[in-house]
Chains A and B, each alone.
Chain A
Amino acid sequence: MAHLVLDLPPSSLAARRRSSPALLAALPLLVFLLCFFVGPIAGLLKEGFVSDGALSLANYRHLIDTPIYRIVLGNTFTIAFFVTLSCIVMSYPLAYLMATVSQNVSRLLFFAVLLPFWASALVRTSAWIALLGKNGPLNTLLTSIGVLDQPMAFLYNFTGVMIGMTHVLMPFVVLPLYASFRAMDNTLVQAAQSLGAGSVGIFNNVVLPLTSPGVVAGGIIVFMNAVGYYITPSLMGGPAQRMVAELISYNISEELNWGLAAALAGVLLVTVLASLWTFNRLFGLDQLISGSSGKGASAAPARRTPGGRVSVVLGVACAIFLLLPIIVVVPMSFGTSDFPIFPPPQYGLRWYTSFFDDGKWMGALFSSLRVGVLVTVLATLLGTLAALGVHKMQSERKSWLDALFIVPMSVPAIITAVSLFYLMAPLGLVANSVAVVIGHTVLASPYVYITVRAALRSFDPALELAALSLGASWPEMFRLVMLPALMPSLVGGAVFAFVTSFDDVVMALFLTSIRNRTLPKLMYEGLAHDFDPTVISASCVLIGATVLILLSNMLLEQRKGAL
């Protein structure tokens, strides 16, 4: 198929004929997603419209008529709304800080933002639970300095859910907001100052209007993610903070009521797709692909406004908020007491020993690694091929395929997981890890697709033509010219794919059994049933792995930048 491409001159006619081999490249991922994403979800949704063997809206009517479901739906949207709000409010000072400090400090702050983002939901949640518990370090600190008379309940209530979800979703607002701050001409602030504006005036008249697109974009993504959240609210919230995802899971594993679960999934899916549609209308899905990080033109202001100084303090506080659980949990893991205490009275490797010596934990770790490697290979292959294919296509089909290839990332994992479970459990694919590998590949291939697609866009097409005109065949050109240019992004995409698989809990909950469960699933069981401090040392092992992976990826990108 490659030979077909290279012999044609780059005319519009050629482009049309080129589409067929291009479509072939995109076909594997297309078929894969139709079989394991679109198909299963359609199958699940169908269940929502079936009641007693006949087509009906009974399940949906049941959702509206039963108070508990109404309450949970209300909760879900309320929590998602307030999480979005708090992400926006907290992102402003942090993004401002990141955009106005020296490059090294900025890089450090980036790390602070990205680490919780990539650290597994379970690691973060277990860190927060250890930190915020009744006898946790925060309550100990606040009572000992006299701020509180008695320990305050941060967990298993609305506060807990807000803390946990804001913590993980903030990067979605911080990063686009950072880009807006960097793109903003710094002299505009100076101009406003010289024309008599105070800090509030500058914020309302200059900063807010110029950064609002970035904020709205980030806010939509946060909302979209928040509505489908499962792990954090179920572990950090109380009964009053149950969200739709948890209810779907409950209906399937406890009630075996597939119809109702499907109806709930339908509501969730419509919400998410509507958010995605809004995002597309306002900004275009292209924004997700280009992933701009600011042009970096404006220098740090030498003299901050009073409002700027306040923002710096708040921004530092937000950075601490992001890093705190991870900073605190590491020393705690080296404690020796039966229950995690901060700071530990005595240091030792007790909980690491119990992690590395226990066949249960080691089995889970190896299961995670095995699945992770398989998923990385599969997702990288499918994602890269699809990116190459779509890149070569004409525009009309492009946007549809772009949307399809990106959507699996945005659809709540619980929906995909339940749909695949519905399809695969009867076939016996859950016990042998096929199901979880497929599920993770659905989740991970968009990351590879997006990074490679972005790299292809910045690849100068003239280089391809030059190589071909110099006598290279298309495969030679690809190997010698295109692939080297794509390599850093390809590796980056593969890293994202691995981390996505390695950190996932939701899919593993449904798509693995007790024999092939992954590390996050075992940790979830450790947290949900009785608190086993080995979870903390396991978290630290995962944090260590994530830090290593992120650092090597950052170094790689730096080298790419230096070239």
Chain B
Amino acid sequence: MHASSQFGAIASADLMPTIELAERPEAQGKDVAVAGVRKTYKNTVALAEISLAVARGEFCTLLGASGSGKTTLLKIIAGFESPDSGSVRIAGRDVTQMPIADRNIGMVFQNYSLFPHMSVFENVAFPLRMRRLNHDDIRRRVGQALDLVSLGELRQRLPRELSGGQQQRVALARALIFNPDLLLMDEPLGALDKNLRQTIQLQLKKLHHDLGLTVVFVTHDQEEAMNLSDRIVIMDQGRIVQTGTPDALYLQPDNPFVAGFLGECNFIEKPGCIVGVRPENVRIGAQIGDSDLRHDGQIIAATFCGMHWKLFIKSHNATMIAYAPVAGASSASFEPGRTVSWGFAAADAMEFAVQ
């Protein structure tokens, strides 16, 4: 693939760019399959029999708290760790024992891992030099890549002379310039401030679309996962808890863990089961329909969130969270100490079996 098409999306990063979607080309990425992978460190089980297939061109996010095993899984796919058992296949080829350098995987590291003693140009040229490309090709391709990520002017700078966002773009250019079969990203946006993160998320999504990259992305930020992913894999204690599209996971979580991890959720214990209700489905006062379940509670606190009021209601020795519409409400109507009635439609309740 031609370098210019790869970097079409990454314009000057610090402003939200106008984005035009290109025709989606033949997917450049390959599919990845992890089968029965197990990894233990001394006495701790980091991964317990993980199997996961990522399709060509899919943006798949591993989401979990620290210690959930998401980074270990990523490192096994990259080849930085070898699994105790199980296999990793890229495009059907078993790469479990293959040296990292031969796997043709692009990786963006958490702290970017730019070589501190090399200029921006040399960093991006590095994979091409390792692949013994001739001098002119390297200069041309790196030049194009840097121009397209708007870093052409900075090609002679050292990494420490760049801002966080610029370093991020160098890391991305370096990971993509050799047309990898797979792009792995280990919490790559963690070090950036919120606005910049959003801009880069959008560019990443566009890049993924335009190039048909296969991306495995690791994060602990559920909002980032929902923004970016075709599919989210939720991990906990070395296991996959549930996989699915962001909306499927949000609307039909398999268990209370997923419901609580992805977005906010109220849990109500019932004999034999647990009922989960999203705060946006909790109705207050006059909104409660005739057929709804109805309870009384006391407002503990109310915060204004722009889209809605967020209410904390004490009821049956538990604290419920409810989003109340902004229209027709004021801080006086949610004064702490007031008694309110709350309820929800049976259809909005998510029922989980007690584990």
Contacts and interface: CB of A to CB of B under 8 A. Distances in A.
Interface of A: 185, 187-188, 190-198, 201, 205-206, 209-210, 301-303, 305-306
A191 B113 contact: yes
Given A194-B105, A194-B107, A196-B178, A185 B126 contact: no
Given A190-B100, A302-B81, A201 B113 contact: no
Interface of B: 75, 78-82, 99-101, 103-107, 109-111, 113-118, 126-127, 130-131, 174-175, 178
14 contacts: A188-B115, A190-B100, A190-B109, A191-B109, A193-B80, A193-B101, A194-B101, A195-B101, A195-B175, A195-B178, A196-B178, A197-B101, A198-B99, A205-B118
A303 B82 CA distance: 7
Nearest to B39: A302
Nearest to B41: A302
A197 B109 contact: no
Contacts of B105: 194
A305 B100 CA distance: 9
A197 B113 CA distance: 15
B100 A185 contact: no
Contact of A185 (B75, B113, B130): B113
A544 to B, nearest CB: 36
Contacts of B118: 205
A195 B79 CA distance: 12
Where chain A touches its partner, the secondary structure class is helix
Nearest to A194: B107
B80 A302 contact: yes
Contacts of A198: 99, 101, 130
Contact of B126 (A187, A192, A209, A305): A192
Given A187-B111, A195-B126, A196-B101, 7 more contacts: A187-B113, A188-B115, A190-B107, A194-B78, A194-B106, A194-B107, A306-B99
Nearest to B100: A193
Contacts of A195: 101, 126-127, 130, 174-175, 178
A187 B109 contact: yes
Nearest to B117: A209
A190 B116 CA distance: 14
A197 B80 contact: no
A191 B118 CA distance: 13
A302 B110 CA distance: 17
Contacts of B78: 190, 194
Nearest to B124: A195
A306 B101 CA distance: 11
A197 B122 CA distance: 14
A185 B80 contact: no
B80 A301 contact: yes
Given A190-B80, A196-B131, A303-B79, A185 B178 contact: no
Nearest to B126: A195
B83 to A, nearest CB: 10
